């Protein structure tokens, strides 16, 4: 939650202190976990439904008197159809929930509420959200593949090899930087979405209202705005 909170406060020009950032991270941890569990439960439920449909089709095929061969191209094609369907559903949900974790930190909500809020904010901006997910997912996938390739050279004493340790540390560091960049970019995208939906102007006016005082003048009865600088 730290990159989210830091980016959000930086947008308004608020100073970010280390202690407050750490406190915010601890405060948001449990709400982030609860929201993550909600998303995992929903995705797991969808997977379970698809699995039941798949097994039901297999039972129906057998009841009709056909033999099910796991090596048959028809069986493999059916499996691919269900896997691709599941992946498309997950990707669609990820696009709708792209702001969920930002909403948890910034708006102090949890559970299903951030998912509903993200669904409303991403309306009209799904292409951008999809592009972001593809961009960061591509580089994350490459790092995971490179890291898995390093683990592939399994040996009993692999942790004694400096090359292996450096490989793991470097890929883990790069992955962390990608995730930090993703959360920061998502927070900026969240602010942009609020501006598109007309929610940001009022918040900015409220944020900086204490720095300005509106004073009425006699000439034309037009109020003038005077900036107040605090020493």
- Of all helices (H) and strands (E), which one includes residue 218? none
What pTM was estimated for this model as a whole?
A: 0.72
Please, are residues 178 and 143 in contact by the beta-carbon 8 Å criterion?
yes
Q: What is the pLDDT of residue 215?
A: 47
Q: What is the pLDDT of residue 106?
A: 84
d(Cα 104, Cα 115) in Å, to the nearest integer?
Answer: 9
Domain spans of the chain?
Answer: 2-227
pLDDT in tens, 29-88: 778 888 889 999 999 999 999 999 999 988 888 888 778 777 888 888 889 999 999 999
Q: Quick one: DSSP state of residue 210?
A: G
- Of all helices (H) and strands (E), which one includes residue 136? helix 126-152
d(Cα 131, Cα 16) in Å, to the nearest integer?
Answer: 30
Q: Is the pLDDT of residue 122 over 80?
A: yes
Q: Which residue has the higher pLDDT, 198 or 161?
A: 198
For tokens 């099910």, what's the residue?
A: 68
Q: What is the pLDDT of residue 207?
A: 57
d(Cα 89, Cα 79) in Å, to the nearest integer?
Answer: 16
At 16, the pLDDT band (50, 70, 90 cuts) reads: low
- Rounded to the nearest 10 degrees, the angle between the axes of helix 2-11 and helix 162-196 is 40
d(Cα 196, Cα 121) in Å, to the nearest integer?
Answer: 9
């Amino acid at each position: 939650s730290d990159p989210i909170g830091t980016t959000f406060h930086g947008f308004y020009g608020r100073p970010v202190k280390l202690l407050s950032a750490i406190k915010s991270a601890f405060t948001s941890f449990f709400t982030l976990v609860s929201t993550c569990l909600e998303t995992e439960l929903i995705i797991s439920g969808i997977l379970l439904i698809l699995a039941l449909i798949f097994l039901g089709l297999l039972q129906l095929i057998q009841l009709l008197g056909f033999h099910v061969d796991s090596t048959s191209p028809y069986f493999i094609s059916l499996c691919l159809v269900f896997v691709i369907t599941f992946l498309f559903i997950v990707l669609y949900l990820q696009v709708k929930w792209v702001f969920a974790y930002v909403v948890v930190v910034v708006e102090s909500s949890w559970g299903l509420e951030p998912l509903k809020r993200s669904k409303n904010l991403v309306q009209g901006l799904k292409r951008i959200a999809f592009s972001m997910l593809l961009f960061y997912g591509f580089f994350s996938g490459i790092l995971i593949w490179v890291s898995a390739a390093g683990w592939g050279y399994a040996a009993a004493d692999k942790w004694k090899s400096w090359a292996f340790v450096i490989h793991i540390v470097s890929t883990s560091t790069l992955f962390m930087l990608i995730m930090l960049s993703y959360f920061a970019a998502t927070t900026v995208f969240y602010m942009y979405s609020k501006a598109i939906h007309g929610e940001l102007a009022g918040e900015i006016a409220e944020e900086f209202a204490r720095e300005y005082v509106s004073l009425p003048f006699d000439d034309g009865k037009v109020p003038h705005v005077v900036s107040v600088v605090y020493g």
